[in-house]
Amino acid sequence: MNLAAYADGGRRWKEFLETVPQDLTDRAFLCHYHAGGLICLRDTPVSYVHILLKGNAVTQNVTADGKVSGWISFSAPTFIGDLEVLSGEYRYAASVSAATDCLLAYWPASEFMDAAMENSSLLLLFARVLARKDYKISTNHGRIPFRSNLERTAMYLIQYCLGTSSSVNGVYIVNMTRSQIAGNVFYSKKTLDRCLRRLQDKGALSIVRGKVHITGEQLGLLEKFRDTPDLI
């Protein structure tokens, strides 16, 4: 496998291309998931380490009554299984599903870790990617509990855009249904619709054929609203 064939020129890809050894990528397997497909299931054994090559994925938890909530989204390139393998637990802490169509490379976990232990740069990359995810979770969870639903909606959309490595003609498209977004921000679809209409009225997003579209300028407005909620 030629890792460079999947790169989009972004800074994060440069780091992967410079660090993941070719002899490891030559041994990779490829797999494809359609949007909504389950990549890994919480509490099941971790047999493989994955690199997300294309698309966006989201970590999810499912309650006893079947409610699904997603709490962090991420885009290519990133690892899946890094938390579990580095912690030595080898059971998935959360389920991960494809938010869009996704292409992944994977290796047996033991094979990947053997390569990482022989290559300090690869091990450092593996740890750094995990640390970035943990940093995002920590900062977001520290801010969200005391925010209004409108602020939380803005923050979620900012996180989604910043977690997406590319845009289409300068526009970020939130490839999730309203019900999925509502589950991720932990309030009803009716409340979400009200918040989206308010943000649209303020010029901070557009709704196109039922999907949330956000330009770079609108993303800047969302960030202003996050930092100065009275502007909303």
What DSSP character marks residue 20? S
In this predicted structure, what is the pLDDT of residue 107? Answer: 97
In this predicted structure, what is the pLDDT of residue 160? Answer: 81
Mean local confidence (pLDDT), 202-223: 91
pTM over 0.85: no
The band of 194, judged by pLDDT with boundaries at 50, 70 and 90, is: very high
Mean local confidence (pLDDT), 60-70: 58
The band of 40, judged by pLDDT with boundaries at 50, 70 and 90, is: very high
pLDDT at 215 over 70: yes
Question: In whole angstroms, what is the distance from residue 57 CA to residue 180 CA?
Answer: 13
Q: What is the DSSP string of 122-161?
A: HHHHHHHHHHHHHHHHHHHHHHGGGS-HHHHHHHHHHHHH
In this predicted structure, what is the pLDDT of residue 103? Answer: 97
| Pair 132, 83: CB distance under 8 Å | no
In this predicted structure, what is the pLDDT of residue 137? Answer: 62
**Cβ count near 21 (within 10 Å):** 14
The band of 73, judged by pLDDT with boundaries at 50, 70 and 90, is: confident
pLDDT at 177 over 80: yes
The band of 69, judged by pLDDT with boundaries at 50, 70 and 90, is: low
CATH homologous superfamily of 3-142: Jelly Rolls (2.60.120.10)
Helix or strand run (H / E) with residue 215: strand 211-215
Q: What does pLDDT average to over the chain?
A: 85
Q: How deeply is 205 buried, as exposed, middle or buried, from its count of CB atoms within 10 A (0-12, 13-18, 19+)? A: buried
Query: How do the domains of the chain map onto residue ranges?
Result: 3-142, 147-231
Question: In whole angstroms, what is the distance from residue 185 CA to residue 196 CA?
Answer: 13
What DSSP character marks residue 119? -
For domain 147-231, give the CATH number.
1.10.10.10
Q: How deeply is 17 buried, as exposed, middle or buried, from its count of CB atoms within 10 A (0-12, 13-18, 19+)? A: middle
Mean local confidence (pLDDT), 152-165: 78
- Contacts for 148 with CB less than 8 Å, ≥ 6 apart: 229
In this predicted structure, what is the pLDDT of residue 49? Answer: 96
Longest Cα separation, the chain: 55
In this predicted structure, what is the pLDDT of residue 11? Answer: 80
Residue 24 has phi, psi (to 5 degrees) of -75, -45
In this predicted structure, what is the pLDDT of residue 164? Answer: 64
